[in-house]
Structure 1
Amino acid sequence: MGNNDNTMQFDLAKDKKDLTKEILTEVYNSLMKKGYNPVNQLVGYLISGDPTYITNYNGARALVRKLERDEILEEVLKSYLGIK
């Protein structure tokens, strides 16, 4: 075991942003592979809360449900506006 005197820093906001992006990318790719319009399907899910807008392919539906819809919208809006 190595001796590491550096203090690790935990950044919850960055981790949440990275996780949201990773999950949305996976879900987007799964929707594309199944022939759906990913943007339309994700918007339908975000507006209605109905998970059937998201395909089960590659576990996409289970993945997207790991995130709260309001948190997804928050991260998408921040990204769109260029807010960190």
Structure 2
Amino acid sequence: MGKISNTQYFRMNLDTEVSVKDILDTVYNAMVEKGYNPVNQIVGYIMSGDPTYITSHNNARAMIMKVERDELVEELLREYIKNRS
């Protein structure tokens, strides 16, 4: 066993990593299930960073907070451009 003053490392299994697209799909569906307008709520979250815009239903809030907001915007723009072509 090493010294207590040494940095301890904790590694997570990255095999279970979920894509930004999958997270957005889960959040969108959770918002619909709860009767919220998912577009308005997700935009509110992206603009403000306030996680209370996202329901905790189906773990949606915890999932979306694992992704940087700029990554969410990138994914949304990527899908928009892909669907416009």
Give TM-score scaled by structure 1 length.
Answer: 0.74
Give TM-score scaled by structure 2 length.
Answer: 0.73
Listed as ranges, the matches of 1:2-81 within 5 Å are 19-81=19-81
Displacement after TM superposition at 1:82 (Å): 2.0
Give me the CA root mean square deviation: 1.8
Displacement after TM superposition at 1:32 (Å): 0.5
Q: 1:23-77: CA deviations, max 9, x gaps?
A: 0000001011111000110000000000000001111100000110001101111
Cα distance between partner residues in 2 of 1:28 and 1:78: 17
Q: Which is worse superposed, 74-83 or 61-70?
A: 74-83
Q: 1:82 aligns to what SS in structure 2? A: helix
Structure 1 stretches of 4+ moved >2 Å:
none
Instruction: State percent identity of aligned pairs.
Output: 57
Cα distance between partner residues in 1 of 2:79 and 2:33: 25
